[in-house]
């Protein structure tokens, strides 16, 4: 605060001359305040190489907003003070949010898949190695599993009277058959990594209350399920003669599934280290894969790689992205996942067009591919998720494949796989622009300081609302109530507090800054 003393008795001896000048100081940003009559004048001196004119104007607007608020209510607590201007709030709650869109509200994953089977019964649905199944064949095997599960009268009741079936399956087509079989039975699938520690497996089985566990043949005795039965998936989908069944064994189960019925439960450790099961409903995935403002043009000619572990939610995107559009899902075996050379050859052999990758895995693949002179890849969509992407590393890749649609997506298990979408341009790569884009259709994003909106450029907690927010955590009501709260900006809507740190950029894109507890 610059308040220079002047002896008013000597003012008559002064002469005045207007001189244009420019202050310079040792700091990149300096706020100067001084009295001018009954006013306080504030000025900001700044380094134009570090701050844009728009940023400085925004700072001054916020400062003016704060000073007016304090003058109007001198007794205000600092915790009650908001720095975000009304103009910013209007922009954040309006222009920065996605517009309302339509999606098939009454459909389930079961009904959408069965409709796709009718459209493309003879197209290849899934393959692994030399084995493959058409849509009709995959549907028939899934129906056999579903009908036998229904006949077994499996029951494990949640608070909503729903039934969980755990899966402990190797990476092959059985994994896909098992998932679809559980879904078509109207049950909830709980995928478990077969390579996880035994205590983690037993915890998941006990906490989920699964009354049936599907394993691969020969693994039935390797795990215990006190509250239910264990079956080999190969026995369940076998179409050998069964005295209890006729042709109807392969028919679509007559099961009504509501959009708000649970589809799957994925267990994550998060930052607490204690596994928690996130309950995702059918509607959450339906609106993710099918809506009027879908930013991708997926179709039946696409070939998807199933790279993610099936207990990681990106697998939901990969699996249903292929099977709800009539595409071909290629299950990547574990050995190819761990060997960039083998994975690259598989991408070429299967002519994969939709490739989803965790950035750290892709950097290795990119290094191998750029060093080789082999056949060019057929990938049309390269989609990153699961980790922060270093966009600048993609310069050589984008130069080789300028036609490829490169997308960065930020996501959270509790908000159904993906939250944002950002198409990466050549300019982004050249400038190493690492934002995560804007919200996907049906979702709203808020960046909050407590319950207050953060202004543009101000870090805060990233919160997500809209269709796509999970039901909550299984058997953890206190944590659910803490993380899944009422949306303060839309009555009757729920919001998830992610614990991630982010900020708005002036163009409405979002910069991810890491975890708040880091």
DSSP letter string over 407-429? EE----GGG-S--EEEEPPHHHH
Q: Which of 510, 502, 449, 472 has its CA nearest to residue 81?
A: 449
Tokens of 11: 């003012």
Contact 292, 103 (CB under 8 A): yes
Contact 479, 496 (CB under 8 A): no
In the chain the domains, ranked by start, together with CATH numbers, are 8-83 (no CATH), 106-297 (3.40.50.980)
Tokens of 171: 């990476």
Half-sphere exposure of 470 (CA within 13 A, CB side): 30
Contact 164, 265 (CB under 8 A): yes
Q: How many CB atoms neighbour CB 328 within 10 A?
A: 24
- Helix or strand (DSSP H, E) at 453: strand 452-453
Q: What is the pTM of this model?
A: 0.89
Full pLDDT tens readout for the chain, 518 residues? 555 556 666 666 667 777 776 666 778 888 888 887 888 888 888 888 888 888 888 888 888 888 888 888 888 888 888 888 899 999 999 999 999 999 999 999 999 999 999 999 999 999 999 999 999 999 999 999 999 998 886 555 544 578 999 999 999 999 999 999 999 999 999 999 999 999 999 999 999 999 999 999 988 888 888 777 899 999 888 877 665 666 788 999 999 999 999 999 999 985 556 899 999 999 999 999 999 999 999 999 999 999 999 999 999 999 999 999 999 999 999 999 999 999 999 999 999 999 999 999 999 999 999 999 889 999 999 999 999 999 999 999 999 999 999 999 999 999 999 999 999 999 999 999 999 999 999 999 999 999 999 999 999 999 999 999 999 999 999 999 999 999 999 999 999 999 999 999 999 999 999 999 87
CA distance linking residue 336 with residue 342, whole number of Å: 5
């Amino acid at each position: 605060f610059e308040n220079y003393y002047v002896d008013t008795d000597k003012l008559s001896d002064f002469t005045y001359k207007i001189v244009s000048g420019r202050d310079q100081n040792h700091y990149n940003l300096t706020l100067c305040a001084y009295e001018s009559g009954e006013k306080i004048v504030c000025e900001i001196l700044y380094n134009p190489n570090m701050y844009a004119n728009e940023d400085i104007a925004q700072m001054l607007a916020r400062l003016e907003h704060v000073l007016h608020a304090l003058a109007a209510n001198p007794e205000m607590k600092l915790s009650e003070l908001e720095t975000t201007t009304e103009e910013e709030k209007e922009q954040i709650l309006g222009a920065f949010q996605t517009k309302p869109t339509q999606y098939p509200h009454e459909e389930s994953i079961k009904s959408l898949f069965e409709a796709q089977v009718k459209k493309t019964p003879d197209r290849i649905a899934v393959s692994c190695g030399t084995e493959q199944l058409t849509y009709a064949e995959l549907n028939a095997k899934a129906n056999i599993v579903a009908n036998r599960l229904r006949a077994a009268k499996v029951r494990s009741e949640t608070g909503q009277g729903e039934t969980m079936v755990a899966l402990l399956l190797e990476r092959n087509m059985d994994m896909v058959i098992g998932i679809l079989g559980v879904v078509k039975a109207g049950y909830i699938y709980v995928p478990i990594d077969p390579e996880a520690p035994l205590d983690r497996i037993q915890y998941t089985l006990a906490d989920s209350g699964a009354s049936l566990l599907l394993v691969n043949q020969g693994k039935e005795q390797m795990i215990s399920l006190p509250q239910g039965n264990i079956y080999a998936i190969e026995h369940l989908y076998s179409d050998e003669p069964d005295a209890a069944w006729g042709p109807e064994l392969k028919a679509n189960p007559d099961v009504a599934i509501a959009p708000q019925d649970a589809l799957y439960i994925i267990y994550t450790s998060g930052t607490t280290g204690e596994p928690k099961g996130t309950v995702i409903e059918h509607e959450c995935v339906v609106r993710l894969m099918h809506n009027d403002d879908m930013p991708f043009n997926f179709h039946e000619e696409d070939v998807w790689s199933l790279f993610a572990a099936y207990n990681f939610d990106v697998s939901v995107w990969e699996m249903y992205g292929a099977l709800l559009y009539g595409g071909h899902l290629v299950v990547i075996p574990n050995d190819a996942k761990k060997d960039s050379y083998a994975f690259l050859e598989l991408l070429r052999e299967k002519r994969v067009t939709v490739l989803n990758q965790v950035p750290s895995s892709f950097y290795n693949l990119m290094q191998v591919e750029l060093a080789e002179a082999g056949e060019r890849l057929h990938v049309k969509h390269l989609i990153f998720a699961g980790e922060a992407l270093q966009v600048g590393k993609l310069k050589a890749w984008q130069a080789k494949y300028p036609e490829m649609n490169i997308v960065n997506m930020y996501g959270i298990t509790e908000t159904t796989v993906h939250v944002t979408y950002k198409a990466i341009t050549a300019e982004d790569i050249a400038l190493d622009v690492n934002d995560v884009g804007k919200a996907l259709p049906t979702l709203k994003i808020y960046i909050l300081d407590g319950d207050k909106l953060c202004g543009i450029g101000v870090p805060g907690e990233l919160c997500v609302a809209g269709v796509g927010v999970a039901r909550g955590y299984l058997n953890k009501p206190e944590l659910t109530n803490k993380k899944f709260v009422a949306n303060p900006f839309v009555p009757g809507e729920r919001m998830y507090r992610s614990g991630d740190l982010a900020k708005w950029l002036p163009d409405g894109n979002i910069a991810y800054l890491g975890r708040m507890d880091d």
